Structure 1
Amino acid sequence: MKCLITGGNGQLGRALFETMKTSNEVILLPKEKLDITNEQTVENVFKRYCPEFVFHTAAYTAVDQCEKDQVKAFQVNSIGALNIAKVCKKIGSTMIYISSDYVFDGKNTIPYLETDIPNPQSIYGTSKWLGEELVLKTISESYIVRTSWLYGHGGKNFVNTMARFAVSQKEVKVVSDQIGSPTYVNDLVNVLLQLIDKPYGIYHVSNDGQCSWYQFAKVIYEYVGTDPNLVQPITTKEYGAAAKRPAFSLLNLNKLESNDVLKPRNWKAALEEYFVKERLHD
């Protein structure tokens, strides 16, 4: 199949490309080659390639910075998604839009269903939720995939940062009162490729199981071979981030299984494989 991936500089875009390139025609476009905030540019590029599937992974993901640069957040995450959707509809492409657990307010005590009503608490979360709404109202041939705590090889993410601290034996303070599930980018890619012949709509995808950021960091230190007691707990209030995070953002994965999509493995098993591939863990 012929696929186009936006967000070519990001960890998900790169992972999708590496997985798909051997058996598909794949066009990977970084922001330097595709300004998603310009509808005419999007149309010109898409008409040149005429993809069957468009994986829209491009996003402005600097959560705290979004609070300060609100115009950019909505231009990229909302209007950018709309531009992609409008052009996909025009040329007959199927769209896969990557969204976030931050569309929820974190007040649940059980994992969020796809049918739960979003109530984002940050500009980032609001811009991603608006992106969802604009896509769903524009093109019916689309998938909205919400994921959480994404990490992969290369680039900036929580696992890479904590692993670097662990290697240098650094003591760190990590938030202990936010609960969710990490998502290994390779496992997300596997699910995305299974979804593209399933019914259109919203799907939740993360690795199985749950933890706090603090617990997550301790396991990272363990896998690197560093004393996990160097990781100390801190509350969200003590940490004092600019953007409000959901205290509980675990995603219910049952819709995957009901559509014969293999649910991703437990987050610890995925993290272990990540470190094997990074050659930091035997």
Structure 2
Amino acid sequence: MKRVLITGCNGQVGFCLTEMLAGKVELLALDRHALDITNKKDVFEIVTEFKPDYLLNAAAYTAVDQAEIDVDLAFSINHKGPMNLAEASESVGATMLHISTDYVFKGDALEPYSEKDKVEPKGVYGKSKLEGEKAVAEYCEKHLILRTAWVFGGHGNNFVKTMLRLSRDRNEISIVSDQFGGPTYAGDIAQALISMIEYIDAGNTPEWGVYHFSGEPYVSWFEFANSIFKSAVDAKLLDKMPVLKPISSAEFLTKADRPSNSRLNCQKIHKQFNVPPSDWLLEIKNIKSYW
């Protein structure tokens, strides 16, 4: 039975990975209390003792606005942590799978971003995640980096839950309408990573490096919110749709700049691993689980 080590097991994707792999592999799933990935000594002790065949890093500092303040912490978790995990993975011959983000791009392109497009992060979060990507690529030969965007799921905090919470208190909700991306179900991200592992386990050698995975169809935050509330009304969670007011990014000021284009081109992962984009519209039909 293959050995799989998951870090960040209590995050949105890590939680799904842990549920989906339980009982199918020899699993060691650790949250940030069980393993501080920024502590190199602890990382090497656990990896050396467990000797995983695969290390899946779902641990990250994801507070985009707070990262502009907690710069050192963001870089410690998103750069130093993956570097430690990559070095430890290499030392035991493990394959490392690492989750990254669309924020490594500037976000002003007219087309969906491919893996070959120029990386140019604007904020601390994106810059720290890019450094993490570089570290994984440098220190672990057998590595797969999965960039994703607009993650949501039944576990943890996300846009879907925020919208439903706001609908309980407000009749009118303002939503940004000039930022576009592909909402991505956390369970589909977990399945994409598992499909990568299964491909390798079948005796295949993939092209190591970066892959994009997100949801389709692409929408604005406003359109995503509209779909969420329509599903909530259909499921009889809400009596009626709240009034949604489209606003611009300039009207919704945040500490960190958000990319106007978070759309990711997912052709490469489909071609290599036969993984289709996340069907977020299908998952939104399960809206009761988010209520």
TM-score by length of 1: 0.94
Secondary structure of the 1:95 match is strand
Residue correspondence of structure 1 range 196-235 to structure 2 within 5 A: 196=197, 197=200, 198-225=206-233, 226=238, 227-235=240-248
Aligned to 1:263: 276
Q: Equivalents in 2 of 1:132, 1:260: separation in Å?
A: 20
Matched letter for residue 214 of structure 2:
S
SS at match of 1:242: coil
Equivalent pair of 1:178/1:247 in contact (CA under 8 Å): yes
Number of residues of Structure 1 aligned to a counterpart in Structure 2 = 278
Once the two structures are superposed, residues 156-193 of structure 1 have per-residue CA deviations (whole angstroms, 9 ceiling, x without a partner) of 11111112223455422111111001000111111111
Residue 199 of structure 1, CA deviation: 2.9
1:125-157 CA distances to partner (integer Å, 9 max, x unpaired)? 000011001111111200000000001112111
Matched, 1:35 2:36: yes
Structure 1 runs (4+) deviating above 6 angstroms are: none
What does the per-residue CA deviation read over 1:176-229, in whole Å, with 9 as the maximum and x for residues that have no partner?
Answer: 111001000111111111112233211100112101111111111111114445
The yes-or-no answer on 1:158 pairing with 2:170 is no
Q: How much has 1:237 moved relative to structure 2?
A: 1.1
- Contact 1:184–1:271 under 8 Å retained in 2: no
Are 2:19 and 1:11 aligned? no
Q: Kindly indicate whether the alpha-carbon contact (under 8 Å) linking 1:73 and 1:127 is maintained by their aligned counterparts in 2.
A: yes
Structure 1 runs not aligned, ≥5 long:
none
The amino acid that maps onto 1:131 is: G
CA shift at 1:22, angstroms? 2.4
Could you state the TM-score of these two structures normalised by the residue count of structure 2?
0.91
The 5-angstrom pairing of residues 112-261 of structure 1 reads 112-168=113-169, 170-196=171-197, 197=200, 198-225=206-233, 226=238, 227-261=240-274
Distance 1:97 1:279, change over 3 A: closer
Question: Quick one: structure 1 residues 70 and 265, their matched pair in 2 at CA, closer, same or farther if it must change by over 3 Å?
Answer: closer
SS of equivalent to 1:63? coil
**Structure 1 vs Structure 2: percent identity of aligned residues?**
37
- The residue type paired with residue 218 of structure 2 is Q
C-alpha contact (below 8 Å) 1:100/1:147 kept by paired residues:
yes
Question: Which region of structure 1 is more displaced relative to structure 2, 188-197 or 90-99?
Answer: 188-197
Deviations for 1:2-32, whole angstroms, at most 9, x for unmatched residues?
1011012211111000001121111110111
Instruction: Report the residue type matching 2:282 in the other structure.
Output: A
CA RMSD, aligned part only? 1.5
Quote the Cα distance in structure 2 between the aligned partners of 1:54 and 1:279: 29
What's the offset of the Cα at 1:58?
0.3
Residues in 2 aligned to 1:137 and 1:260: alpha-carbon distance in whole angstroms:
23
Q: Give unmatched runs, 5+ long, in structure 2.
A: 201-205
